[in-house]
Amino acid sequence: MNSLKSVILASQLNGISAEILTQIHPSNQRPTMNETQVKYLTQFILLIVSRLIWVMPLVMGIIFLKSKFVINYKDSLKKLRTHHSALSKGPVKRYIESLYKTRLNQSNQITGSCTQCGNCCLNQQCFFLEPIEDGKFQCGVYNSLFRKFSNCGAFPISNEDIQRYECPGYVLQAYPMIKIKSLKQREIS
């Protein structure tokens, strides 16, 4: 069974989106973005998607080979509007920031495991999220390459990510602090 745990653990280990970008643009050649550019690119992407949302059930049906997205067109459109609204509250901006490494990456300090609560999937509003037993969720497009290009390819990468969705599975471990002793303290010890 595909699970969010697999999705997220794999992504945490690999940082797939970042890896793909690294291959396209080695870090020393990678274009950077300031806050204003990130903001406008985010608004542009959201605007394009909102204008094309009526055709998205068909596009998603073709990309993910799921005829139910088209057969249940009205329901799909409603869910996609909810998905788009949730995306506009930060995830698209986060994705751009992650790609261009303008966001703090603390993944090497994060430990834990996923409980499949679905919180990080747009607070359980992702179009592709499917409920399973015991109040848990799984990703309905786990095997898709497109998913690996998304935010799901690198979550959580920071304490902000963990807090934003109140993730019950992962915690940020602070680095052990090494204090430098004063001369007086060194003489005593």
Binding site for ligand SF4 (CB under 6 A): 4, 7-8, 114-122, 126, 128-129, 139, 141, 147, 150, 152, 165, 167-170
Residue 165 identity (one-letter amino acid)? Y
Nearer to ligand SF4, 8 or 56 (CB): 8
- For 171, the enclosing helix (H) or strand (E) is strand 170-172
In the complex, least distance from residue 5 CB atom to ligand SF4, rounded to whole angstroms: 7
d(CA 66, CA 140): 10
Nearer to ligand SF4, 101 or 136 (CB): 136
In the complex, least distance from residue 124 CB atom to ligand SF4, rounded to whole angstroms: 9
Instruction: Say if residues 12 and 156 touch (Cβ distance below 8 Å).
Output: yes
Nearer to ligand SF4, 1 or 178 (CB): 1
In the complex, least distance from residue 147 CB atom to ligand SF4, rounded to whole angstroms: 5
In this structure, what DSSP letter does residue 170 have? E
What DSSP string describes 120-140? Answer: TTTTTT-TTEEE-GGG-EEET
